[in-house]
Structure 1
Amino acid sequence: MASLTWRNVIVSGMGVLTDGYNLYSISLTSFFIPSSFTFSSAELGLLVAGSYYGAAIAALLFGLLADRIGRKRIYGFDVLIMAIGAGLQAFSQSYLELFLARLILGVGIGADYVLSPVIVAENAEGRNRGKAMVVTFAVMWGLGAVIAAFVEQMGLLAHLPATLLWRVVLGMGAIPAISVFFLRRKIYETMLFVSRVNPEHQDVSKIEQELGKPLPKAKDTTPFLRRLSSSALLIVAASVLWLLYDMYSSTFAIFGPITIASNLGLSPIEFTYVAQFFAGIPGQLICIYLVDKIGRKPLIVIGYAGVALWLFAYSLLLEDPRIFGLPEAQLSVSKLVGEAAILGFSFYMLNYLFSAIGPASIIGSAMVTPELVPTKVRATSQAISVSVDRLATALNITAFPLLLSHYGLGAMVGFYAGIALISTIITLFVIPETKGQELEKVVKERNVGEGL
C-alpha cells in the first residue's frame, strides 16, 4: 500500500506544482504586463484573481462528476485545461484575452484542488496520510512558486524585453501540466471509491494485485443527499476555515512579491527565495515530522498563534516604528528602512514559518474536508469548500489593491492577524482530530447518518 500511496503523491504533486507555478507567476510578472497593456489597479486585482474565479466555477462540476462516475475517469483533464490556459496567456493580445486565459487556467486549477486531495487521501494509510498530503500540496506548491521565480530570473539574466518576459514566464506554466497528463490517466481508481461506492469497478483486480490481498468491500447504500446533508456542519466549518486561511495566505502569496517585498526593500525574486528557503520549507519539514505524531489540531493552533503574534507585531511596526524604540523616520513613504526594515523582515518571516508549521501545510493542503466526510460525498464536499474558498479569495484579491490604497498596509496586516485568531477558535471547537485514523473510521466514530 505504501508504494501506491507515494505513487499517487508524485502524480498528484506534479499537478499541485503546476498550480503553485501558475498562481504565483502572475504576481512576479505583474510588473511587466503593463509594458504590453494598460489597466488600473482595480483591473490588476481582477486579473490576478481571474484564476480564482475560474476555479470557483469549475470545482462544483468536477466534484459532482468525481462522486458520480469516479475520480479516475476525469483525472488528468484538469491539468490539460491548465496547460491550455497557461499557454493562451503567452499569446494574449489584450487585457481581456489575458483575463480569459486566466479564467480557463483557473478551471483546471479548481478541478485539481478537488481531485488531488481526495485521491491522495483515499489511497493513504491513516498512519502516514498527513505527511503524504503535506508533501503533495504544501511542499510541491512552494516548489512551483520557486520555479516560477527561477524562470523569471533566467529571463532577466537573458535580458528579455519586458513585453516578452511576462509571456515566457506565464506560458512556461503549461510544461509541468502537460508532463503529468498521461501519468494521471493511467492511475487506478481510489481504493475507497471502489470499496464504498463501486465494488464492481474494473480496477478492483489491479488494486488487489498491488496490495497482495483482497480489498474489503462494503457498498454505501445511504442516499447521496442524505450523506451530504448529514455532513453539512463540518463542510461549512471546513469551508470557512479554508476561506479565512486563504484570505490572508493567497493575498500574501499574490501580493507579497509586490507589496511586502517592496516594503522590506527586496525584489520579488529575492523575496520568493528567502520566504521559501528560510521559512516555508523549514516549517513544512516540521509539519511533515509532527502531523501524524501530535495531530492536526495542535499544529494548526500553534501555527495560527504564531501567525497572529508576528503579523500583529508587523502591523504595529508599520503603523508606528516608535513602539519598538525606532525613529519614525524609518517608515518612509510606507517603506521600512534601516533597523525597521530588518525588524519587519524578521516579523514577516516568523509569520511565514509558523504558517508553514500549521495552517499553510494542513489547511492549505486541503486536508480538512477530505478527512471528515464519507467517501460517497467526499469530492462534492471538497468541491463546495473549494468553490466557497476560491470565490471569497477572488473577491478579496480583487479588492486588496483598493483596500491597501485606502487603509494602508499596516491596517491590512493587522486585519489578517485577527483572521488567524478567529481561525484558531474554529479549529479548537469545531474541527475533530483525525490523526492516525483511517478515513471511514473517522466517519463511523462521528456517527454520520445510518448504514455505516
Structure 2
Amino acid sequence: MKLTWKSVLISGMGVFSDGYNLYSLSLMIYTISAFIPMTKITEGLLVAGSYLGAAVSALLFGLISDIEGRKKMYGIDVTLMAIGAALQALSQNYSELFLSRLLLGMGVGADYVLSPIIVAENAEKQKRGRAMVITFAVMWGLGAVLAAFVDQLTLQLPQSLAWRIVLGLGAVPALSVIFARRKLTETLLFLSKVRPDEKEIRDLEKEGVNVKIDIDKGSFRERFMSSLFLVIISAVLWLLYDIYSSTFAIYGPITIAYNLGITPIMFTYIAQFFAGIPGQLLCIFLIDKIGRKPLIVIGYTGVSIWLILYSLLLLDPSLFGLYETGKLTGEGAVLGLTFYMLNYLFSAMGPASIIGSGMVTPELVHTKIRGTSQAISVAVDRTASATVISLFPSLVSIIGLGGMVGIYGIVALLSALITLFLVPETKGQELDRVKRVVTKI
C-alpha cells in the first residue's frame, strides 16, 4: 500500500533526527565539557535534558492526538526538534545548552507519540511490523551513523567549533520533513473509528485507500480502563529497555570504546554495521513471519547472556584466563568487543527493533485511546531513563562499569520473562482484532 510506505518515509525522518541528536551529544560530551565546565551531576543532567523534555511533551501531544487527531500536531514535533538542535550550536553557557536540549527533547517526545501511531494506523496488517521496524530501528541507527560521520569530518577543525557544528546539524533532517508532515492526511483508523472528516477521506480515496466508517461507540474511560493492564506492561517494558539501551547509546561510544581501546567513531561504525544493521535486517525479515514475542524473548535472552559474560570479563578477567588490568587490552579487548557486539546484535534482532520502536503500545490498545496510552509509555520511559542517565557517571565511579553491565544483563532477562508471560502476540492481526483479543485478558 502506497500509504504505508509514505508514512514510513515521512515519520522515519523524525526518528532519524533523534538518532543523530542523541548520538551526537554522546560523541561530543567530553569535548563540550572542555569549554563549558560541568560536574558529574550537571553532565548527567545535560545528557538527560532531552529525556526530561520528552516526558513533558509526550503527555500533552498524546492527549491532543486522541481529541483532535494525529495530523493536527504532526510537524510541530520536528519543528521543536529543529529549533532545539539549532540552539545547541549557539549556546554560550550550561544553562543555554541545557534549555536547548530540553526543547529538543520536547520535539522528540511528541514524535515518539505521534510517529508510531501514524505508521501503525496506516499500515497493512501483513506489513505493519516491517514498516515500524524500518521507521524506527533502522532510521534511528542511520541517524547515529551520520552523527559519527559528521564528527569524523570535523576532526581537523578547532574543537571549540567542531562540537557546535556536530550538534547544530541535527536541525537539518528535522527541517526536511516539516512541510511533508503538515500535508500528510489523517490516519485511516482515526477517520474510520473516531472522527470521520469528509475532506480527509476524499484525500485518502484519491490515493486509492478505501475508508470504511465503523465508529467506536465505547467511551474513552471504558476503553482506557479495559486496556490499563497492557498500558502498564507496555510502559514497564519500554522503561526497562531504555534503562540500559539509552545509557549505552549515550555513554557507549566513550566509556565502552575507551575500555576496549578504540575510538568512539570507530566504535559507532563497528556497532552499527556489524551488529545493529544485521540485527535489524533479521528483524525485518522475521517479524511478520514468526511474530513479535519470539523475537523479543530470543533477543533479550541473548542480550542477558552476552552482557553477563561481558560483566564477568570486566569484573574478573582471570575467569577467562586473562591478566587483570584497569583496561581491557589485546585478547581481552577482542573478547570484550565480541561480547558487546553479540549483545548488540541480539538486541537489534528483537527488543531494540520492536520495543525501542515504540511498537508495543500502539498494537495493543484501542484507537480511541492510542495517543494517550503511547504518551504514558513515553513519559514513564523518558522520566526513568533521565534519572538513570543522570546518575550513570556517578554509579560507574561507585560500582564500576562491570557492575553496571551486569545489572543491565539482569534487566534484560526480566524483560524477556515479562514479554513471554504477559504480552499478547499481534502478528498478522488487524489492530481492531488485537483489541478484541486483549480486552478479554
Shorter chain as denominator, the TM-score bin is over 0.9
* 1:437 equivalent among 429, 433, 438: 429
Q: Which residue of 2 aligns with 1:164?
A: 161
Alpha carbons of structure 1 residues 342 and 260: separation in structure 2 relative to 1, 3 Å: same
Q: Map of 1:318-333 to 2, 5 A cutoff?
A: 318-328=314-324, 331=325, 333=326
* 1:287 equivalent among 263, 283, 307: 283
The separation in 1 between residues aligned to 2:56 and 2:43, in whole angstroms, is 20
Report deviation, 1:448. 6.1
* 2:240 equivalent among 244, 251, 264: 244
Q: Map of 1:91-102 to 2, 5 A cutoff?
A: 91-102=90-101
Identity among equivalent positions (%) equals: 63
Q: Which residue of 1 aligns with 2:150?
A: 151
Q: Which residue of 1 aligns with 2:182?
A: 185
Provide Cα deviations, 1:323-348, integer angstroms capped at 9, x if missing partner.
111222xx2x2x10111111001000
8 Å CA contact retained: 1:245, 1:363: yes
Q: Map of 1:318-357 to 2, 5 A cutoff?
A: 318-328=314-324, 331=325, 333=326, 335-357=327-349
Q: Does 1:415 align with 2:407?
A: yes
The separation in 1 between residues aligned to 2:298 and 2:78, in whole angstroms, is 34
Q: Does 1:222 align with 2:214?
A: no
Report deviation, 1:227. 1.1
Report deviation, 1:445. 2.3
Report deviation, 1:372. 0.2
Q: Does 1:390 align with 2:376?
A: no
The separation in 1 between residues aligned to 2:392 and 2:226, in whole angstroms, is 36
Report deviation, 1:212. 5.2
8 Å CA contact retained: 2:66, 2:368: yes
SS for the counterpart of 1:219 is coil
Q: Which residue of 2 aligns with 1:90?
A: 89
The separation in 2 between residues aligned to 1:228 and 1:144, in whole angstroms, is 35
Alpha carbons of structure 1 residues 17 and 186: separation in structure 2 relative to 1, 3 Å: same
Aligned amino acid, residue 180 of structure 2: L
Provide Cα deviations, 1:57-101, integer angstroms capped at 9, x if missing partner.
100000000000001111001000000000110000101110000
Q: Does 1:195 align with 2:187?
A: no
8 Å CA contact retained: 1:275, 1:352: yes
SS for the counterpart of 1:291 is helix
Q: Which residue of 2 aligns with 1:307?
A: 303
The separation in 2 between residues aligned to 1:288 and 1:300, in whole angstroms, is 13
Report deviation, 1:208. 2.2
8 Å CA contact retained: 1:194, 1:201: no
8 Å CA contact retained: 2:234, 2:377: yes
The separation in 2 between residues aligned to 1:415 and 1:281, in whole angstroms, is 25
Provide Cα deviations, 1:330-372, integer angstroms capped at 9, x if missing partner.
x2x2x10111111001000000000000000000011100000
Alpha carbons of structure 1 residues 268 and 201: separation in structure 2 relative to 1, 3 Å: farther
Aligned amino acid, residue 418 of structure 2: I
Q: Does 1:114 align with 2:113?
A: yes
Q: Which residue of 2 aligns with 1:46?
A: 45
TM-score by length of 2: 0.99
Alpha carbons of structure 1 residues 114 and 201: separation in structure 2 relative to 1, 3 Å: farther
Q: Which runs of 5+ in 2 are unaligned?
A: none
Report deviation, 1:35. 2.5
The separation in 1 between residues aligned to 2:195 and 2:102, in whole angstroms, is 34
The separation in 2 between residues aligned to 1:448 and 1:57, in whole angstroms, is 32
SS for the counterpart of 1:388 is helix
Aligned amino acid, residue 255 of structure 1: Y
The separation in 2 between residues aligned to 1:72 and 1:201, in whole angstroms, is 15
Q: Does 1:31 align with 2:21?
A: no
SS for the counterpart of 1:221 is coil
8 Å CA contact retained: 1:90, 1:167: yes
Displaced runs of 4 or more, over 2 A: 445-449
The count of residues paired between Structure 1 and Structure 2 equals 441
Report deviation, 1:308. 0.4
The separation in 1 between residues aligned to 2:439 and 2:347, in whole angstroms, is 32
8 Å CA contact retained: 1:86, 1:105: yes
8 Å CA contact retained: 1:231, 1:448: no
* 1:259 equivalent among 255, 268, 271: 255
The separation in 1 between residues aligned to 2:209 and 2:282, in whole angstroms, is 33
Aligned amino acid, residue 366 of structure 2: P
